[in-house]
């Protein structure tokens, strides 16, 4: 069994979708994740809008890394990075992957969700 928890990186998207800041959403997750892990669940973390925030524009790798680090420290066994708006391209994904590698993250821990747009 597993539990999925998520957070949108993007400031505007988080406020519109969750009614809260990214920091507030992240602050509410550790207790839930800890309890799930304590009960034997595997917890998968999700980060939405890792390429473009539909409200505020381009998202930097540093902004995504902040959320990824938080989910990793909580004990998520896998972290899915979502190009929710479908605006990422191979170059932007490569930039994000390299930034994650530079920070020392275990790259086997990541999954990617790419939305295709017409």
DSSP 23: H
Scanning 11-89, the segments in alpha helix (DSSP H) are 11-18, 22-38, 61-74
What confidence score (pLDDT) does residue 85 get? 85
Pairwise pLDDT comparison (28 vs 2), residue with the higher score = 28
Q: Which helix (H) or strand (E) holds 114?
A: strand 110-114
Q: Domain segments of the chain: what residues? A: 2-114
What would the pLDDT profile of 77-108 be if each residue is shown by its tens digit? 999 999 988 888 999 999 999 999 999 999 99
Architecture of domain 2-114: Alpha-Beta Barrel (3.20)
Tell me the per-residue pLDDT of 14-72, one tens digit each, with 9 for 90 and over. 555 666 677 888 888 899 999 999 999 999 999 988 998 888 889 999 999 999 999 99
In this predicted structure, the answer to whether residue 118 has a pLDDT above a threshold of 90 is: no
At 18 the pLDDT is 61
Q: In which order are the strands placed within the sheet that holds 110-114?
A: 2-8, 42-48, 78-83, 110-114
The candidate with the shortest Cα–Cα distance to 37, out of 73, 80, 81, 82, is: 73
């Amino acid at each position: 069994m597993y539990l999925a928890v998520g957070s949108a990186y993007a400031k505007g998207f988080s406020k519109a979708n969750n009614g809260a800041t990214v920091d507030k959403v992240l602050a509410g997750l550790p207790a839930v994740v800890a309890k799930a892990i304590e009960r034997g669940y595997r917890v998968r973390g999700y980060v939405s809008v890792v390429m473009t925030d539909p409200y505020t524009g381009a998202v930097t790798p540093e902004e995504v890394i902040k959320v990824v680090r938080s989910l990793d420290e909580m004990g998520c066994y896998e972290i899915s990075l979502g190009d929710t708006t479908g605006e990422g391209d191979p170059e932007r994904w490569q930039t994000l992957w390299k930034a994650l590698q530079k920070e020392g993250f275990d790259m086997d821990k990541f999954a990617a969700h790419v939305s295709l747009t017409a």
